[in-house]
């Protein structure tokens, strides 16, 4: 699309209503970096939905603290991350991301109580057998573009079974030489999982899907226009004051949106109601296209594309009743990790 826009010497607004949970969610994956790079080619805006994992219980984050020798064996310094595997789950993967400089022990515990220790000091793949499940564990290394280390668990049913062993599993973390201590864990997107496969104590922050985590994309969450409130399924992000990166950037209507379904052909299309950030994102893509038409095509602003469009939309975003008012300086409600700078408003984005 960017190549075609260059060939036609035209601006382009690109809508990406898709994403997944695989990655460290810090902008360092190949796809995230590709989007950042391509956003600087020609005159474009790339708009991406933050996904529907906000209430899916598919993410956990935490931090391990450094212990001295006398404390190292105390049980209260362990962190046990429990998750359930629901009935009739045919396969599952789990990602653990950590800073490579940190040293800690990882143990996988099955529902029966049997455990297997994973040696993070030996990169590569090891195979475990617990409770009639094969578990392939890949111990990664940092990449040329990231200091993160990935530990990837792939759960596979035993040879004579179609399903994984359901129940309460746990990844047990014991700190060793800790210098950063932060870790994150992700399950696959909820749309491909049994409804009871989840973390027991999930983290709602940083539940955006990739590639909405790309720094130069406009990341779009969803809100409910009826109640003027954040839609709990919408992927939540973060506010980094040091780097000045906010995710999501804005939110748009994403609950009970009227759209068309056409199982056979256009003549058979019916109006249906759908919810999700996939339906909020096109509002912002259309808004970006209108701004670029006003600036580039009509000649009012030859530089109105890319990060400038994002800045205009952030500046014009409106308060959402459920999130309070931006005029309340004491509370600093905006930006936040739920709705970013607020609700999309094209008119206010051009108020100056």
pLDDT-based confidence at residue 195 (cuts at 50, 70, 90): confident
Q: What is the pLDDT of residue 350?
A: 87
Q: What is the pLDDT of residue 76?
A: 52
Q: What is the pLDDT of residue 269?
A: 83
Q: Where are the beta strands (DSSP E) in the chain?
A: 12-16, 44-49, 59-63, 79-85, 92-99, 104-109, 115-118, 124-130, 133-139, 148-157, 167-175, 182-186, 198-199, 218-224, 229-230, 238-240, 245-247, 250-253, 257-261, 270-274
Q: What is the pLDDT of residue 263?
A: 66
Q: What is the pLDDT of residue 240?
A: 82
- Is 108 strand, coil or helix? strand
DSSP state of 324: B
pLDDT 10s digits, 28-86 = 999 999 999 999 999 999 999 999 999 999 999 999 987 665 555 554 578 999 999 99
- The mean pLDDT of 168-197, rounded to a whole number, is 94
- Is 222 strand, coil or helix? strand
- Residue-range domains of the chain with CATH: 2-55+207-323+334-346 (3.40.50.200), 59-199 (2.60.120.1290)
Concatenating the DSSP letter of every residue in 166-221 gives PEEEEEEEEE-S-SS-EEEEEPPPGGGS-TT-EESS---TT-PPBTTT-TTSEEEE
pLDDT 10s digits, 290-346 = 999 999 999 999 999 999 999 999 999 999 998 988 777 666 689 999 999 999 999
- Who wins on pLDDT, 226 or 351? 226
Burial class (CB in 10 A: 0-12, 13-18, 19+), 295: buried
Q: How much is the mean pLDDT over the chain? A: 92
Q: Give dist(CA 158, CA 136) in Å, integer.
A: 12
pTM of the model: 0.92
pLDDT 10s digits, 258-300 = 998 876 667 778 889 999 999 999 999 999 999 999 999 999 9
Q: What is the pLDDT of residue 288?
A: 98
Six-digit token string for 322: 């459920």
- Who wins on pLDDT, 145 or 16? 16
pLDDT-based confidence at residue 11 (cuts at 50, 70, 90): very high
């Amino acid at each position: 699309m960017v190549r075609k826009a260059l060939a036609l010497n035209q601006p382009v607004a690109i809508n990406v209503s898709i994403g997944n949970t695989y990655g460290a969610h810090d902008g360092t994956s190949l796809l995230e970096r590709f989007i950042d790079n391509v956003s600087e080619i020609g005159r474009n805006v790339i708009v991406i939905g933050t996904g529907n994992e906000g209430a899916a219980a598919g993410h956990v984050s935490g931090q391990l603290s450094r212990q001295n020798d006398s404390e190292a064996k105390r049980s209260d310094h362990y962190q046990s991350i429990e998750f359930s595997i629901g009935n009739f789950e045919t396969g599952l993967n789990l990602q653990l991301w950590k800073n490579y400089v940190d040293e800690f022990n990882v143990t996988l515990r099955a529902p029966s109580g049997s455990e297997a220790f994973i040696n993070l000091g030996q990169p590569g793949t090891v195979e475990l057998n617990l409770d009639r499940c094969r578990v392939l564990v890949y111990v990664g290394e940092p990449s040329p573009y990231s200091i993160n280390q990935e530990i990837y668990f792939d759960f596979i049913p035993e040879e004579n079974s179609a399903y994984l062993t359901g129940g309460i599993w746990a990844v047990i973390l014991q700190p060793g030489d800790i210098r950063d201590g932060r870790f994150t864990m992700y399950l696959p997107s909820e749309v491909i999982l049994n409804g009871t496969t989840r973390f027991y104590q999930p983290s709602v922050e940083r539940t955006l899907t990739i590639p909405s985590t790309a720094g130069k994309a406009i990341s779009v969450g969803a809100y409910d226009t009826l109640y003027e409130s954040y839609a709990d399924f919408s992927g939540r992000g973060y506010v980094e004051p040091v780097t000045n990166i906010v995710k999501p950037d804005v939110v748009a209507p994403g609950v009970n949106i009227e759209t068309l379904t056409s199982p056979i052909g256009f003549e058979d299309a019916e109006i249906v109601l759908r919810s999700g950030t996939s339906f909020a994102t096109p509002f912002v893509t259309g808004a970006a296209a209108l701004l670029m038409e006003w600036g580039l095509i009509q000649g009012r602003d030859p530089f109105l594309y890319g990060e400038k469009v994002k800045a205009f939309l952030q500046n014009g975003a409106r308060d959402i009743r459920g999130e309070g008012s931006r005029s309340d300086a004491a509370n600093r409600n905006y930006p936040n990790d739920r709705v970013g700078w607020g609700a999309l408003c094209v008119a206010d984005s051009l108020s100056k």
